[in-house]
Homo-oligomer: A and B are copies of this chain.
Amino acid sequence: MADKPRIVIVGGGFGGIKIAKLFAKENVDITLVDRHNFHLFQPLLYQVSTSVLAEDEIAYPIRTFFRDNKNVNFFMAKAQGVDQERNVLITNHGEIPYDYLILAAGATTNFFGMKEVEEKAYGMKTIQEAIHIRNHVLHEFERASKPYRTPEDRRKRMTFVVAGGGPTGVEEAGALTELIDVQKKEIHNLDFNDVQVILIEATPRVLPMMPEDLQKETVRVLEKKGVRVMLDTQVVGYDGDVLKLKSGAEIPTTTVIWAAGVRAVDFMNNCGGENARDGRLMIEENLMVKGAVNKNVFAIGDCACFMHGDMKRPLPTVAPVATQEAVVCHKNIMKLIKGDTNLEKFVYKDLGAMATIGRGQAVVGHPRMTGFLAWCAWMFVHLIRLAGAHTNLTVAIKWTWNLFSGIRLGRIITNMKL
């Protein structure tokens, strides 16, 4: 072991940043590895994709978190594997030796093996994907407004499909209808009867983590906003022009936003551990990777599969799981550093779920709230968690402005295809 224990953390998401902050106060050397130079506030990604917020309002430079922590080093690179025998993390910028390794690498979109869908549909997990969606959707409005379009072509471009009825899908569909309301006021020569948003969900219900009455309320609000909600509907293919459903029905559309599932990032398969069906690394109750050779590799958050006691399925891929795991993981590694092998077992405390359906509309599971009150709670919770005091202020201004005026200034197309 070097002078100070070398802690290496993979991933600057909610879990990675949290545990790096905890270790920053200890007498250890920390290397935080991420392929992006920023922490992304993923729950608000849909607002970037629908022109409400700018990129830099939900992305925060990782180095800024650790400005005053000289023992924290940021290393921008793509993690590729772990050699547990040699205690090194392998990246595209070389190897990084560790005494303790924490994998907090997150999740990516799950297309369930449908290659063509993966190629043609839009994922929504990264800032680049959100920007792609924004550019594409705005561009389709410009294309549809050209006088030489056939009605079929125009309708196809003006049909926006969101696949997946979880919080991301519901929020995206709701936000799209509001973007359309804004476009309606400004594109004088387009027939908006052609414009529609469709939300497709494979199961009979949206927002699986919510009580049934709130699920129904969510569908009601979405439909009132103009979203066509198709439950019990499975996607079997998409070629960029026509979306194929299991029923045999087809929907002509140039836009499919895929929010129907997540899986662990591919790198998890090269970590020397045991992978669950969705690629997540199996972990012990103390958060150590199952079968860790030197008992010094841990995994937390979306990339880890925690399923112990009488749990019927793994913990959900949400921020509170990652941050709560970070706290216990930090404690356990500090115990090991001090020679104490009596590690703490992780117990998840469910804080309830919330989702916004649009301007002034949300559902909150616990305590149970709907409508404007729920939206205020949603706004408050997300605002206080955004990194950077100055960001909170500008985002608060934008949201308030947006609530009253319905104007969206973020509608700029930054790619150059014409």
Q: Which residues of A are interface residues toward B (Cβ below 8 A)?
A: 35-38, 54-57, 59-61, 63-64, 66-67, 70, 72-78, 92-94, 127-128, 131, 138, 142, 146, 148, 185-189, 388, 390-391, 393-394, 397-398, 401, 405, 407, 409-416, 418
A127 touches B418 (CB 8 A): no
**Which B residues lie within 8 Å of A66 (CB)?**
186
CA distance A314 to B415 in the complex (A): 33
B64 touches A418 (CB 8 A): no
| 28 A-B contacts (beta carbon < 8 Å) | A35-B418, A36-B412, A37-B142, A37-B411, A37-B412, A37-B413, A54-B54, A54-B55, A54-B56, A54-B57, A55-B414, A56-B410, A56-B412, A59-B412, A60-B409, A61-B186, A61-B409, A61-B412, A67-B186, A73-B189, A76-B142, A94-B146, A127-B414, A128-B415, A128-B416, A390-B398, A393-B397, A397-B397
B418 touches A55 (CB 8 A): no
A163 to nearest B CB, angstroms?
24
**Which B residues lie within 8 Å of A73 (CB)?**
188-189
Contacts A54-B56, A93-B146, A148-B94; A391 near B418 (Cβ below 8 A): no
Not counting A37-B412, A128-B414, a sample of 14 additional A-B residue pairs whose C-beta atoms are within 8 angstroms of each other reads A35-B418, A37-B413, A38-B411, A38-B412, A56-B412, A61-B411, A74-B187, A76-B418, A93-B418, A94-B148, A390-B397, A390-B405, A391-B409, A394-B398
**Which B residues lie within 8 Å of A409 (CB)?**
56, 60-61, 64, 388, 390-391
A37 touches B418 (CB 8 A): no
- Shortest Cβ distance from A65 into B: residue: B186
CA distance A70 to B388 in the complex (A): 41
B414 touches A138 (CB 8 A): no
**Which B residues lie within 8 Å of A38 (CB)?**
411-413
**Which B residues lie within 8 Å of A398 (CB)?**
390, 394
**Which B residues lie within 8 Å of A405 (CB)?**
390
**Which B residues lie within 8 Å of A412 (CB)?**
36-38, 55-56, 59, 61, 127
A311 to nearest B CB, angstroms?
36
CA distance A128 to B418 in the complex (A): 14
**Which B residues lie within 8 Å of A78 (CB)?**
418
CA distance A414 to B135 in the complex (A): 14
- Shortest Cβ distance from A127 into B: residue: B414
**Which B residues lie within 8 Å of A92 (CB)?**
418
Among A67, A78, A401, A411, residue most surrounded by chain B Cβ atoms (within 10 Å): A411
A298 to nearest B CB, angstroms?
25
Contacts A54-B57, A397-B390, A409-B56; A131 near B414 (Cβ below 8 A): yes
CA distance A77 to B413 in the complex (A): 13
A375 to nearest B CB, angstroms?
20
**Which B residues lie within 8 Å of A94 (CB)?**
146, 148
A361 to nearest B CB, angstroms?
22
